[in-house]
Structure 1
Amino acid sequence: MATFQIFQSSGQYWYRLRADNGEIVQSSEGYTSKASCQNGIQSVQNNCQPTRFESFFNAGQYGFNHIAANGEIIGRSEKYTTAQSRDHGIQVVLREAPTARTEDLS
């Protein structure tokens, strides 16, 4: 089962979504409070529809941005070497994020 991990770095809170194989498939921006980070996770869970993902190819790498209903980026993927790997990452988020547990490492 996938897991959202909340952690602190540089005085901010962040989340990363780890797939059941341990790979990071999506990460957040920095938040000033843990509550804001938790709200970001809730937004990810509420916005798991295929239309909320923007795929891209840049500098030889594939990736995606996860977009909230208000147009804000709520998560960014890791970089992938193939479009197929990127698309698999999107499918993992769509399938696993809505019910993923949260682990607080902060």
Structure 2
Amino acid sequence: MAGHFELKKAKNGEFFFNLVAGNGQGILKSEMYSSRSAAENGIASVQKNCGEDSQFECKESNNGKAYFVLKAKNHQVIGQSQMYESEAGCANGIESVKTNGCSEVIKDLTAE
């Protein structure tokens, strides 16, 4: 099963999306957007940038766990991964975004 995007609305009225792998695991969470159209543009940016290694950046959190961000061409962060126990896990997460990020399936969960 291929991955998909889930478009959601936060309690504060802002919008965000998650990229979900085919196995149901969340692999990338977006920043918060003030409008639905801005969040949809964020999804389009993931679809456009997910295939390029140079758009990913691995980082280390304060607690020593690895995570990555996906950046647009203008260097703005589009989304962030979960925390991983190792750099290898982080690398696997990037590969999953590269595989699933091109998905055109967007599940609109804003009404929930």
TM over 0.5: yes
User: Please, what TM-score do these two structures have when normalized by structure 2?
Assistant: 0.90
- Whichever structure has more strand as a proportion of its residues is 1
**In structure 2, what is the equivalent of residue 50 of structure 1?**
53
Unpaired runs of at least 5, structure 1? none
CA contact under 8 A between 2:5 and 2:103: conserved in structure 1?
no
Unpaired runs of at least 5, structure 2? none
For the aligned residues, what is the CA RMSD? 0.9
User: Please, what TM-score do these two structures have when normalized by structure 1?
Assistant: 0.95
* Alignment match of 1:11 (pick from 10, 13, 17): 13
How far apart, CA to CA, are the structure 2 residues paired with 1:101 and 1:87? 24
* Deviation >2 Å, runs of 4+: none
**In structure 1, what is the equivalent of residue 31 of structure 2?**
29
1:44 counterpart SS class: helix
CA contact under 8 A between 2:17 and 2:39: conserved in structure 1?
yes
Percent identity at matched positions? 31
User: Which aligned pairs between 1:1-106 and structure 2 lie closer than 5 A?
Assistant: 1-9=2-10, 10-48=12-50, 49-58=52-61, 59-106=63-110
- The one-letter code matched in structure 2 to 1:96 is N
How far apart, CA to CA, are the structure 2 residues paired with 1:36 and 1:56? 26
